[in-house]
Amino acid sequence: MSTSTTSIPEAKKVGMVSLGCPKALVDSERILTRLRADGYAMSPNYAGADVVLVNTCGFLDSAKEESLATIGEAISENGRVIVTGCMGEEADAIRAAHPQVLAVTGAHQYEQVVEAVHTHAPPSQGPFVDLVPQPDIKLTPRHYSYLKISEGCNHSCAFCIIPQLRGKLASRRVDAVLREAEKLVAAGTKELLVISQDTSAYGVDTRHEARQWKGQEVRAHMTDLAGELGQLKTPDGEQPWVRLHYVYPYPHVDAAIPLMAEGLLTPYLDIPFQHASPSVLRAMKRPANEAKVLDRLKSWREVCPEIAVRSSFVVGFPGETEDDFKYLLDWLEEAQLDRVGAFRFEPVEGAAANALPDPVPEELKEERYARIMEVTERISAAKLQAKIGRQVPVIIDEVGEPDEDGDIGATGRSQADAPEIDGAVYLRNVSATIKQGDLVQVEVEDADAHDLFGVIT
């Protein structure tokens, strides 16, 4: 009697390069999760991949150049490349630069990407090979996760082509968002970063449709969602940080501030103001540009003194005068924002701003960029200096190896610091038991213009 065994063929491997914003990173996570369910394995490098996916950014011309360069590198290193993401809307430009690409799909077109992978690297195992379901793939560290609540945008800002790339606002069902958040926290997430193109507009397209959640109705509305996220608990009974990004300062944002004061939300708002001069804001076609933002910042700080506000600003927008720029600098002095990023205006193909008169010369953009960074760094340094001697909650991102004296250092972030874009908290002499994702209390001992230095209490 003879016996024969059938071996499972080795899984085809997919490599992924993800460029651009956190919203694109979430798209990459969803694509890879779907492919793994279809029997694919992930490759950490070009050499081991049967096909490479490049998730592109197409927001600025410089981002497009980086995307094309990355596609070229992937072709050079591997040869079998599928392109997706925002720049995928410009398939002709991609194929003109790199005719060897196997397929091109647009932003968040998950089905088309998966079909392209199936076509050019057919799965060798078939779907659902594992008897035990695998968790979703995450491209961030285990302790923090991006939670995308909607796609697209209804605004028509003059400098932006996001609506052309990602379409109009399309909000996710609130119960689906909460289910995903609960699953992430149960799996070890200590910090949820809520993202979209316009978080304040969540649910506008569905008329804030309500869904059943935990025996009650919850509306698809930013403040309702935030309140429910604030009820989540980790397996250890800790309350995860919940951080709101891309929040336009509509009036209902005021209702989120008491949730921060109560500890249900992380006291942090990421608001893309972009400018302060009324004439520039009108030219930019910015929403909510008539809001009395300085008054509201003051009232927010009265309700929640710990709130940190981050924003980004564009310098050198067409028609920006010296008076406009000085208005912005004066506004920043009064606003005293905690975290600020600045960008030189850059024309984007298809954006209405390209047709505006009076472009600002490049050398003047550079000068204004240097001036705004000088002002914002001074404000940041003073705010961080004021924290010396205080105790602040910190989440641990990385723990180092013991030095020659056996001392261990660690890097973390305060509640005023979002990953990748804000500052850090550098810790000395941490315990050997401290690990990534721990939430600790830290006494601040020193500060510079961007970061804090301290010790766990």
* Tens digits of residue pLDDT in 185-218: 999 999 999 999 999 999 999 999 999 999 999 9
Phi-psi region of 422 (alpha: psi -120 to 50; beta: other; left: phi over 0): beta
**Which has the minimum average pLDDT: 134-138, 339-343, 400-404?**
134-138
Percent of the residues in the chain that have a pLDDT greater than 90, as a whole number: 74
Q: What is the pLDDT of residue 319?
A: 95
Binned at pLDDT 50, 70 and 90, residue 107 comes out as confident
The two structure tokens encoding residue 247: 């929040």
Query: Does 180 have pLDDT greater than 90?
Result: yes
Query: Does 288 have pLDDT greater than 80?
Result: no
Q: What are the structural domains of the chain? A: 13-120 (3.40.50.12160), 144-385 (3.80.30.20), 391-456 (2.40.50.140)
- Provide mean pLDDT across the span 93-99: 95
- Provide mean pLDDT across the span 379-387: 97
Direct distance between the N- and C-terminal alpha carbons of the chain, in angstroms, rounded to an integer? 71
Q: Dihedral sign for Cα 26, 28, 31, 32, please.
A: negative
Q: What is the pLDDT of residue 154?
A: 87
Q: What is the pLDDT of residue 109?
A: 83
Please state, in angstroms and rounded to a whole number, the distance separating the CA atoms of residues 34 and 276: 43
Specify the residue for token string 């990534």. 436
Q: What is the pLDDT of residue 126?
A: 53
For the beta carbon of residue 277, count every other beta carbon within 10 angstroms: 22
Q: What is the pLDDT of residue 140?
A: 82
Percent of the residues in the chain that have a pLDDT greater than 70, as a whole number: 94
Highest mean pLDDT among 125-139, 157-171, 302-316: 302-316
- Buried-state track 207-239, b at ≥16 Cβ within 10 A, e below 16: eeebbebeeeebbbbbbbbbbbbbebebeeeeb
Q: What is the pLDDT of residue 10?
A: 82
